[in-house]
Amino acid sequence: MSKNDEMAVAEKIRIVREHMGISQNEISKVIDRKGGTISRIEKGLSEYTGEQLAAVRKFLGIEKIPILEGEEASYRTDLYVWRDTINARRIDEARKMHHRLSAINHLPFETELIFLFKMFEVHLLFHEDVAKAEQALESARAFLDDVDDEGRFLFHFNIGSLNFRKKNYDIALQNFLMACDLQLDNSRMSIPMQYSISLCYSKLGMYFRSIVVTEKLLFLCNDDDLTDFYWYRLRNHLAINYIHIGEAEKARYLLGECLNRANSNKNDIYIGYALHNLGYTYLKTKDLEKALDYFQKAFSHMKEGQGSYFENLYYEIYCLILMNSSLSKKRLSHAKAISSGNEYYELLFNSLAHLISLKEDASTQYIEQNTITALLNRHEYFRALEYCDLLMDIFIKQNKKIKSLEIGTLSGDILRKIMKGGD
């Protein structure tokens, strides 16, 4: 039995009243009684009527938080609806729900529900202010010993999410696995947790492990179990991993499903993702014309300046360069103009500029020393391999045997990392 269950309603109201700095006289006016009435109620000598309690709760703004027996389950459900609203990126709606649900902070005896609220509040802060989210998590760490497994589960899940955003994928994976080890019977969090673990494996180059987790998740979940967000994301993510291990046909089948559903729903975001990823499948099988066609179609479903737009632009230019198209320089000029200040894409677009003049020693040195090194540090093994292959081709044509052997050795090391799961 929780502390809340053991307390009388009048005692809870007293604590909330004092927490808000409201006097007994102010409450008396709400129920149209003298000040002494509230004193007697709070001493347990009398009780609120149903009508009086409803009026007081409305005045205090606590109609939707648990005061009476049986209300905790309803509030907990509301919290998870809020979490799902945040995850669906309906941020304006989530902010309105935040205001109503935040009244739980006036119930200091509801430690576990307050902690749960704060963990979902962090989800919202991830979309608004990551620095504040990090501060909130650090302040919550001191209360871990006072909360149940659900609270600890969410704490480690959020720490994992924070580090994923900061590209600390090792730390993120460690915390996601710690959350997994708590073995909560909580289907509402199982899907995002397993998806996050799969993403970490992929970011760390552990493509086979990522595939195992994602395939298992899709096998266990019916379409009705998945929101649109996870239905599309899981299939796109699995398709990319299939491409990485050479299973292009499997990838195209999944992406075809995504494109058909996204077209039916007129969902621009996922139409763009599917078209881009289909382009990538054809690029990996060296069908450059088909790849370029998909990349160019994807632009009409993307917003300039977003990460997906930069990624699509990068591969469009990459194809144009491999096809020796004169359009590559014009598109590269556009790319450099809009990516100024984005360190990662500035590097990638500079790398593409060097691909145009790859026969020159300065360009091969840039690719070898800057591009490949940076990609390996980010665990982007397949993109690094793409550049290794291009360098190898140049060095062989230039009869630079030692350099071609060095790049061949590096390619072998990267492939071994991939086959060993990125370890």
pLDDT at residue 187 is higher than 60: no
Every domain of the chain and the residues it spans: 3-60, 357-423
pLDDT band at 1 (very low <50, low <70, confident <90, very high): very low
pLDDT at 186: 55
Phi and psi (nearest 5°) for 283? -60, -45
User: How confident is the model over 379-403, as a mean pLDDT?
Assistant: 91
pLDDT at residue 31 is higher than 50: yes
User: How confident is the model over 238-264, as a mean pLDDT?
Assistant: 95
Least confident segment among 33-37, 54-58, 79-83, 127-131: 33-37
- Closest to 137 in 3D by CA, of 148, 149, 124: 124
Was domain 3-60 assigned CATH 1.10.260.40?
A: yes
CA distances from 334 to 282, 313, 317, 329, 343 (A): 24, 9, 10, 9, 16
User: How confident is the model over 322-350, as a mean pLDDT?
Assistant: 94
pLDDT (tens digit per residue) in 372-382 = 999 998 888 88
Highest mean pLDDT among 44-58, 73-87, 265-279: 265-279
User: How confident is the model over 293-320, as a mean pLDDT?
Assistant: 95
- Closest to 72 in 3D by CA, of 19, 42, 111, 99: 111
Nearest 10 degrees: Cα torsion 155, 157, 162, 167: 150
Can you read off the two tokens belonging to residue 102?
A: 């935040």
User: How confident is the model over 194-208, as a mean pLDDT?
Assistant: 92
pLDDT at 35: 64
User: How confident is the model over 114-136, as a mean pLDDT?
Assistant: 93
For the chain, percent of residues with pLDDT exceeding 90: 64
User: How confident is the model over 335-350, as a mean pLDDT?
Assistant: 93
